[in-house]
Structure 1
Amino acid sequence: MALTKNEREAFLAEPHVAALSVEAEPGRAPLTVPIWYQYEPGGRPWLLTGTESRKLNLIRAAGRFTLMVDEVSPRLMYVSVSGDAVDMVAGTRDDLREMASRYLPQQAVEPYIEMAEKEHGPQTKVYLDPQQWVSLNLGSLGDLPVV
């Protein structure tokens, strides 16, 4: 069963690792990679990625991308949101801290930031203008009929 607007936004706001999918070069399948993202219900999802990364170059070329998050336990559920890539700006240390705080235990945030600044290089913050949503909630595995 499809999720309501409030349900899908609440699910997307949880700290899932998303699959980002973006059109690739001609003759290649779309690039699909795991990525951290940030989202608050009613807003626009955003992510950080390397300023010189293939991913960002493809997002710039396509002008749009998709984020998909899912869960298999305790329930089978997913939300996919697609739209235009908008407001690409330089990522900041505060952006990195906000993102790391969403996914990591508090004691790991500062060490992660130090590592990311050294290893990942300059980051670009990319916002997604949500235009198309696809969602499904199949409930828990115990709720499914046995055939």
Structure 2
Amino acid sequence: MPRQFTEAERQEFLADKHIAVLSVAAGDRPPASVPIWYDYAPGGNIRVNTSAGNRKARLIEEAGAVTLTVQREELPYQYVVVEGTVVDTARPAPSDAREAIAIRYFGEEAGREFASAYDDADTVLFTIRPDRWFTADFAGDF
């Protein structure tokens, strides 16, 4: 039986580098769910950057709320699910935010290079306030 993370554990887990799955309401269709990079520091908000013209961005703007699932895919299985409200939308996404997210996943040099490739792109940065958390840690089961 999994145990729940403590507040500090769940924030630390979310702050670790993972690929998240973002889900957002999609009208008459089932929720749209897509893998996404994100940025998070314990106690803060979650930031996600995407192309402004894609379906995901439009749905996030329309819904104003998302669910973000972050998981550990190898044993011991662990996950954090965050339901959150979009509290800020920046279009275009500020270059420093795009760069911080890219550096998180690629490292300093490659992250800066990756982010700079989007300097002229139509991007949007969503800031999401965590409202509810759901967690599970199966470490004691193995």
TM-score (norm 2): 0.90
Structure 1 stretches lacking a partner, 5+ long: none
The corresponding residue for 1:106 is 108
Measure, in 2, the Cα distance between the counterparts of 1:33 and 1:24. Answer: 12
- 2:86 counterpart SS class: strand
Larger C-alpha radius of gyration, 1 or 2? 1
Measure, in 2, the Cα distance between the counterparts of 1:128 and 1:113. Answer: 21
Measure, in 2, the Cα distance between the counterparts of 1:50 and 1:86. Answer: 18
Divergent runs of 4+, >4 A: none
How many residue pairs are counted as aligned between the two chains?
139
The corresponding residue for 1:64 is 65
Q: Give the counterpart letter for 2:79 in structure 1.
A: Y
Deviation at 1:105, TM superposition (A): 2.9
Deviation at 1:75, TM superposition (A): 2.0
Measure, in 1, the Cα distance between the counterparts of 2:116 and 2:103. Answer: 14
Measure, in 1, the Cα distance between the counterparts of 2:37 and 2:45. Answer: 14
Q: Is the CA contact 1:82–1:128 (under 8 Å) kept in the aligned structure 2?
A: no
Pairing 1:16-95 to 2, within 5 Å after superposition: 16-26=18-28, 28-90=29-91, 91-95=93-97
Q: Give the counterpart letter for 1:3 in structure 2.
A: F
The corresponding residue for 1:3 is 5
Q: Give the counterpart letter for 1:11 in structure 2.
A: F
Identity of aligned residues (%): 34
Structure 2 stretches lacking a partner, 5+ long: none
Deviation at 1:124, TM superposition (A): 1.0
Please give the root-mean-square deviation of Cα atoms over the aligned residues, in Å: 1.5
The Cα offsets for residues 6-58 of structure 1, whole Å up to 9 and x where unpaired, read as 100000000101000001121x1110000000000000111111112211111
